[in-house]
Chain A
Amino acid sequence: EVRLAESGGGLVQPGESLRLSCAASGITVINNYVHWVRQAPGKGLEWVAVVYTAGSTYYTDSVKGRFSVSRDSSKNTVSLHMDNMRVEDTGLYYCARGQGGLYDWGQGTLVTVSS
Chain B
Amino acid sequence: DIQMTQSPSSLSASVGDRVTITCHATQDISVNLNWYHHKPGTAPKLLIYDASNLQTGVPSRFSGSGSGTDFSFTIANLQPEDVGTYYCQQYDILPPYTFGQGTKVEI
| A associates with B | yes
A35-62 CB contacts (< 8 Å) to partner B: 35, 37, 44-47, 50, 58-61
Tell me the interface secondary structure of chain B in the complex.
Answer: loop
* Beta-carbon contact of A47 and B44 below 8 Å: no
* Beta-carbon contact of A107 and B43 below 8 Å: yes
B residues within 8 A CB of A65?
Answer: none
B100 to chain A, nearest CB (A): 8
A residues within 8 A CB of B87?
Answer: 44-45
* Beta-carbon contact of B102 and A50 below 8 Å: no
A67 an interface residue at 8 Å Cβ cutoff? no
* Beta-carbon contact of A100 and B91 below 8 Å: yes
Q: Tally A residues with Cβ within 8 Å of B.
A: 22
Chain A's closest residue to B96 (CB) is: A60
B5 to chain A, nearest CB (A): 12
Residue numbers of B with Cβ under 8 A of A are: 1, 32, 34, 36, 38, 42-46, 48-50, 55, 85, 87, 89, 91, 94-102
A47-B97, A103-B46 known; 9 other A-B pairs, CB under 8 Å?
A: A47-B96, A47-B98, A58-B94, A59-B96, A96-B44, A100-B91, A101-B48, A101-B89, A105-B43
